[in-house]
Amino acid sequence: MNEKQRIGGWIRRFLMEYLVGERNLARNTQASYRDTLALLLPFTAQRVRQPVDHLDVEDISADVVRSFLQHIEQKRSCSIVTRNQRLAAIHALARFIGERCPEYIAWCSEIRAVPFKKTPKPTMTYLEKPEMDALLNAPDCSTRQGQRDYALILFLYNSGARADEAARLTVGDLELGRSPSVKINGKGGKTRYCPLWTLTAGVLAPLIAERVSHEVVFLNRRKQPLTRFGIRTLVKRNVLKAAWQEPSLLTKQVSVHTIRHTTGVHLLRAGVDINTIRAWLGHVSLNTTNVYAEVDLEMKAKALAHCEIPVSEQHSKPWHDYPGVMSFLRAL
């Protein structure tokens, strides 16, 4: 059997040479592609009744891919967004093989013809100022865990950091001197700097006292680094506490990203320039940041009030008092 036909060798090259060596994609992206193939290969092997190590490239046909996508939606209860992410990884593998082996160009075209599912754009959730204040007041700061929770939530609100960015934050990334700031290592290896409030710097200082620069800032009760999943659980736990003060929190799906959106909206309301907010949050495109202006009803209401037309007596007559105009319209 020609080794070019075995899918295993191509996958090794795709994951090691292409994703890492050529594209230098983020570790999360590499993990997502790896997980997709770890699901696809056993599914394909079961369909064609072959061991995984004996699968050929063309065993992963377009029909198999469609069945696989249906399987992860129905059996694994994956969302359409996740389904499309899995398909993007399969498309990337097909393109990689097709570009390097002309005999698979037709196969590549068939795989890449499997379409993405259209998904409705989700409504962006953010917190109003009283809701954010209630979340900040939720931790019990008389305990070490409560102090850490408060510091983390305040840091997320100040910086607009993602869960993964907060989880990887090290002591050396913080500058808590006269002009406090933080270096955030973001998606795709991009680095940005964000100013910190004096309050945030003061709360973080005790957490990192007598610790070396390479240590992670936010730790769990076992003194191990908090993972992004741990940070999400922490936020949800404190949301439930805050709901006693602000019941409206129970009507919202509050996550770490919700706090990030809250930062963007509140900065915009405070009059911060949209380009500054883009750099603050680490958005690649200004279009991503513009969504905060689109969803903020408070700012829309203020804008509407500026251009509201006052009611006057001469415009208060109902439409049927203008028979000339209505006769003209009916005659068209």
pLDDT in tens, 88-146: 999 999 999 999 999 999 999 999 999 999 987 767 788 999 999 999 999 999 999 99
pLDDT higher than 90, residue 322: no
State the burial class of residue 309 (Cβ atoms within 10 Å of its Cβ: 0-12, 13-18, 19+). Answer: exposed
Which is catalytic among the residues 6, 183, 187, 252?
Answer: 187
What percentage of the chain has pLDDT greater than the value 90?
A: 64
pTM check: above 0.85: no
Token representation of residue 200:
């945030």
How large is the average pLDDT for residues 299-303? 54
Whether 283 is a known active-site residue: answer yes
Token representation of residue 299:
């700012």
Question: Would you state the pLDDT for residue 312?
Answer: 52
pLDDT higher than 80, residue 298: no
Question: Would you state the pLDDT for residue 280?
Answer: 84
How large is the average pLDDT for residues 290-311? 58
Question: Would you state the pLDDT for residue 288?
Answer: 67
Quote the mean pLDDT of the chain: 87
CATH class for the domain made up of 3-112: mainly alpha
Domain boundaries, given as residue ranges, for the chain: 3-112, 129-305
* Predicted confidence (pLDDT) per residue in 24-67, tens digit: 887 888 899 999 999 999 999 999 999 999 999 999 999 999 99
Distance CA 127, CA 95 (A): 42
Helices (H), 77-195: 80-100, 105-112, 129-137, 144-159, 163-167
Question: Would you state the pLDDT for residue 1?
Answer: 47
Token representation of residue 141:
């700061």
Matching fold, domains 3-112 and 129-305: no
Question: Would you state the pLDDT for residue 326?
Answer: 63
Whether 257 is a known active-site residue: answer yes
pLDDT higher than 60, residue 14: yes
Whether 187 is a known active-site residue: answer yes
Which is catalytic among the residues 18, 150, 157, 292?
Answer: 292
Higher pLDDT: 285 or 178? It is 178
At position 310, the amino acid (one-letter code) is P
Which is catalytic among the residues 83, 86, 148, 162?
Answer: 162
What percentage of the chain has pLDDT greater than the value 70?
A: 85
Whether 228 is a known active-site residue: answer no
Angle between helices 256-269 and 274-281 (to 10 degrees): 160
* Predicted confidence (pLDDT) per residue in 264-289, tens digit: 888 888 888 878 888 888 877 666 67
CATH of 129-305, one of 2.60.120.590, 1.10.443.10, 1.20.140.10, 3.40.50.1100: 1.10.443.10
Which is catalytic among the residues 83, 86, 168, 260?
Answer: 260
Whether 292 is a known active-site residue: answer yes
User: Which own/partner contact pairs does 245-251 have at CB distance under 8 Å and 24+ positions apart?
Assistant: 245/134, 245/137, 245/138, 246/130, 246/131, 246/134, 248/128, 248/131, 249/127, 249/131, 249/134, 249/135
Which is catalytic among the residues 83, 192, 257, 266?
Answer: 257
Query: Phi/psi at 219 (nearest 5 deg)?
Result: -115, 155
Q: How confident is the model at residue 154 (pLDDT cuts 50, 70, 90)?
A: very high
Distance CA 332, CA 320 (A): 17
* Predicted confidence (pLDDT) per residue in 158-169, tens digit: 999 999 999 999
Question: Would you state the pLDDT for residue 23?
Answer: 86
